[in-house]
Amino acid sequence: MLTASGYITTAEFTANNPTVDVSVYSTPTLSGIIATATGKVDDYLGFTLPMEIITDEKVEARVDSDFNLSIWPRKRPIDTVTAIDIVKGSDTITLTLQDGNSADKFDVPEPKIQILYPDAELATTGISTVGSFQQIRNTNFFVKLDYTAGYHSPPEWAKEATELYVLDILARRQNTVGASKIKQGQVSIEYVQRRGKSDLVQDAEEILSYHRKVAGF
């Protein structure tokens, strides 16, 4: 079960890095370092990875050029969507998510970071002031969303980035004199670019940049 306490285990780290001497660290200390590295992964991504149920999230949305409602939740990848409300002024407009055959009116295209609700499928419950998304395209509104998102197990890219952050933390613990270059196991680490970020951190951020939460539009 994936938890935010660590995207790799101590056993995985030691097995993947046999040249790194961690004998000076107790298992709880190494676990704590892994938890810190996991937090760095989350901070850079802008979201945590474990699967969770999220309710009443105010999310980014717009009406695109095809008059589809385009919604960008904060958590990813999106698994299920159970409620979409358009909040405009004092009005809350609840969208109907399934048709009469229980098929979804909306789509969550790969890589499952966006929800698209086509204008042609627009249906609401109760009395609605919105007859089409075209009506609200250039107006102020936000969307409130209930959904489930995240991973059941850590993806390989997250494990690799976590490992790189752990190596950086261990190297910094050894680098008490602030040298610009040290060795961690068989890896030579430099702290000369991007405001003191090590090569390890830069490599981790490069991996994570493909999955990072940024504005959808």
Residue 214, in any domain of the structure: no
Question: Are 59 and 126 within one domain?
Answer: yes
What is residue 73's predicted lDDT score, i.e. its pLDDT?
94
Domain termination site, one of 101, 130, 149: 149
Provide the domain limits for residue 114.
Answer: 52-149
Question: pLDDT digit string (tens) for 158-213?
Answer: 999 999 999 999 888 875 444 555 555 555 555 444 456 888 999 999 999 999 88
Residue 65, in any domain of the structure: yes
φ/ψ (deg, to 5) at 71: -120, 135
Question: Are 93 and 165 within one domain?
Answer: no
Residue 133, in any domain of the structure: yes
Question: pLDDT digit string (tens) for 69-88?
Answer: 999 999 999 999 999 999 98
Q: What is the 3-state secondary structure (H, E, C) of the chain?
A: CCCCCCCCCHHHHHHHCCCCCCCCCCHHHHHHHHHHHHHHHHHHHCCCCECEEEEEEEEEEEECCCCCEEEECCCCCEEEEEEEEEEECCEEEEECCECCCCCECCECCCCCCCEEECHHHCCECCCCCCCCHHHHCCCCCEEEEEEEECECCCCHHHHHHHHHHHHHHHHHHHCCCCCCEEEECCEEEECCECCCECHHHHHHHHHHCCCCCCCCC
Question: Is pLDDT of 113 > 60?
Answer: yes
Question: Are 111 and 26 within one domain?
Answer: no
Q: 216: pLDDT confidence band, cut at 50, 70 and 90?
A: low
Question: Are 139 and 63 within one domain?
Answer: yes
Question: Are 56 and 42 within one domain?
Answer: no
Question: Are 84 and 141 within one domain?
Answer: yes
Residue 194, in any domain of the structure: yes
d(C-alpha 187, C-alpha 190), whole Å: 10
Domain termination site, one of 149, 168, 191: 149
Residue 213, in any domain of the structure: no
Whole-structure pTM value: 0.79
Please state at what angle helix 156-174 crosses helix 27-45, rounded to 10 degrees.
Answer: 120
Q: Taking residues 37-41, report their average pLDDT.
A: 97
For the chain, the average pLDDT equals 86
Count of structural domains within the chain: 2
Question: Are 168 and 201 within one domain?
Answer: yes
Question: Are 36 and 106 within one domain?
Answer: no
